[in-house]
């Protein structure tokens, strides 16, 4: 399974009103190519902050918030795992696509290619519903099992980017569209 | 108004600052502590704000951006050294997407500073803000706190980053 297969699985599982925060670089570009939707927030910079943006968003709304994060990015902001353990509400699902490389910059290895175990790290930070999955079926099962709970799903994937273009939406419009979507479809 | 004025002179700067946050409609506060901010942090928890103690200031910028996307008004409370930890996120997230954020920073590295490591960032912080085009005000004495609520509101109204420095003299 590659990153884009994880993204397809999440998009297929998510309800129309759910929100998806995607990490910068190829994760956002692949999400845009798979399904551009107003409830998507595409990060373009600020590497490491996907899980933080997701936490802040989940605290401000009752909607389900999925975060498409990566191993390199989580390691860049590892303290976020502890903050999530303290504050995250039941509507936050952090999906860490663990391909063990910096996929957007030429597949240089991250420390999960070595001795670092993100599931153990997330648990040690105080998170309860943490699991590792390796296939789309396992991912779907985990999404179902943790529905309505704060959860962290680490997905083992192979490296590799899909052949997708850049996102042709201005940053300000990405944010405004997302905020309008939240306001106008209030639950 | 007369009563307010009397009250203003009797209560702590910490109370007045947190009162300004309430009046400006702040919903979510992210913080990294500083000993100058200890009183404000205690007051924030007494007043029942949503308060997230972050591990690093940059993380607070991310949480604040997420909260802003959900329509909440956020404030980041930190030392000015935390500005250095936040720079890339402030420009490539908050400013890039035109999200509002208020930065309330204790101004370390000024007169009375005992820690040498606070000097470089203390000197650089105002210049960094000017370089990034972030407006800020200096709160050096009790009367300056009157500026605060309006400045915080301006950040939300203009969807921009605004900042204020709280100087050590404020508590002396």
ipTM confidence score: 0.97
The model's pLDDT over A75-84, given as tens digits with 9 standing for 90+, comes to 999 999 999 9
Contacts (Cβ under 8 Å, ≥6 apart) of A47: A23, A24, A72, A73, A76
The model's pLDDT over A153-172, given as tens digits with 9 standing for 90+, comes to 999 999 999 999 999 999 99
Instruction: Work out the minimum CA distance from B72 to partner chain A, whole angstroms.
Output: 6
Looking at the DSSP bridge assignments, the partners of residue A70 are A97
The model's pLDDT over A88-143, given as tens digits with 9 standing for 90+, comes to 999 999 999 999 999 999 999 999 999 999 999 999 999 999 999 999 999 999 99
Confidence of residue B8 (pLDDT cuts 50, 70, 90): low
Torsion of CA B171, B42, B55, A92, to 10 degrees: -140
Instruction: Work out the minimum CA distance from B137 to partner chain A, whole angstroms.
Output: 26
CATH of the domain at A167: 3.40.50.970
For B58, half-sphere exposure in the C-beta direction (CA atoms, 13 angstrom radius) is 21
For A114, half-sphere exposure in the C-beta direction (CA atoms, 13 angstrom radius) is 6
CATH of the domain at B131: 3.40.50.970
Residue B14 is given by DSSP the state: H
For A182, half-sphere exposure in the C-beta direction (CA atoms, 13 angstrom radius) is 25
The model's pLDDT over B83-114, given as tens digits with 9 standing for 90+, comes to 999 999 999 999 999 999 999 999 988 888 88
Q: What's the structural domain count of chain B?
A: 1
Q: Which domain holds residue A7?
A: 3-184
Taking a C-beta distance cutoff of 8 angstroms, is the pair A58, A51 a contact? no
pLDDT at B5 over 60: no
The model's pLDDT over A43-81, given as tens digits with 9 standing for 90+, comes to 999 999 999 999 999 999 999 999 999 999 999 999 999
What is the distance between the alpha carbons of residues A116 and A134, in angstroms, rounded to a whole number? 17
Chain A residues whose beta carbon lies within 8 Å of the beta carbon of residue B61: 46, 49, 52
What is the distance between the alpha carbons of residues A134 and A17, in angstroms, rounded to a whole number? 27
Taking a C-beta distance cutoff of 8 angstroms, is the pair A97, A68 a contact? yes
For A171, half-sphere exposure in the C-beta direction (CA atoms, 13 angstrom radius) is 15
pLDDT for residue A185:
81
Best of B59, B68, B99 to substitute, by most chain A Cβ atoms within 10 angstroms, is B59
For A140, half-sphere exposure in the C-beta direction (CA atoms, 13 angstrom radius) is 9
The model's pLDDT over B13-61, given as tens digits with 9 standing for 90+, comes to 999 999 999 999 999 999 999 999 999 999 999 998 999 999 999 999 9
Q: Which domain holds residue B111?
A: 2-171
What is the distance between the alpha carbons of residues B45 and B37, in angstroms, rounded to a whole number? 13
Global pTM reads: 0.96
Q: What's the structural domain count of chain A?
A: 1
Contacts (Cβ under 8 Å, ≥6 apart) of A139: A6, A9, A10, A133, A153, A155
């Amino acid at each position: 399974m590659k990153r884009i297969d994880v993204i397809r699985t999440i998009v297929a599982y998510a309800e129309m009103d759910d929100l998806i925060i995607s990490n910068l670089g190829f994760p956002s570009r692949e999400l845009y190519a798979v399904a551009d939707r107003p409830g998507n927030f595409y990060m373009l910079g600020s590497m490491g902050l996907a899980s933080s943006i997701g936490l802040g968003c989940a605290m401000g709304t009752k909607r389900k918030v999925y975060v498409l994060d990566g191993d390199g990015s989580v390691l860049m902001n590892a303290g976020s795992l502890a903050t999530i353990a303290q504050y995250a509400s039941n509507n936050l699902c952090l999906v860490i696509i663990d391909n063990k490389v910096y996929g957007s910059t030429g597949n240089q290895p991250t420390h999960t290619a070595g001795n670092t175990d993100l599931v153990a790290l997330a648990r040690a930070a105080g998170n309860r519903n943490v699991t590792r999955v390796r296939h789309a079926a396992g991912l779907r099962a985990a999404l179902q099992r943790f529905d309505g709970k704060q959860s962290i799903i680490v997905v083992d994937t192979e490296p590799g980017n899909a052949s997708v273009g850049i996102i042709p939406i201005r940053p300000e419009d990405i944010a405004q569209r997302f905020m309008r979507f939240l306001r106008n479809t209030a639950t | 108004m007369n009563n307010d004025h009397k009250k203003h002179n009797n209560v702590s700067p910490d109370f007045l600052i947190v009162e300004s946050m309430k009046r400006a409609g702040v919903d979510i506060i992210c913080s990294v502590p500083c000993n100058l901010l200890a009183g404000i942090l205690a007051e924030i928890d007494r007043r029942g704000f949503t308060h997230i103690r972050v591990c690093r200031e940059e993380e607070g910028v991310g949480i604040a951006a997420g909260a802003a996307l959900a329509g909440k008004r956020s404030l980041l409370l930190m030392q000015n050294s935390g500005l250095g930890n936040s720079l890339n996120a402030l420009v490539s997230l908050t400013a890039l997407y035109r999200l509002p954020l208020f930065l309330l920073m204790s101004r370390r590295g000024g007169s009375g500073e005992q820690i040498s490591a606070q000097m470089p960032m203390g000197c650089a912080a105002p210049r960094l803000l000017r370089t990034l085009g972030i407006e800020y005000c200096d709160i050096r004495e009790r009367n300056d706190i009157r500026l605060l609520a309006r400045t915080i509101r301006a950040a939300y109204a203009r969807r921009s980053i605004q900042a204020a420095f709280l100087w050590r003299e404020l508590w002396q």
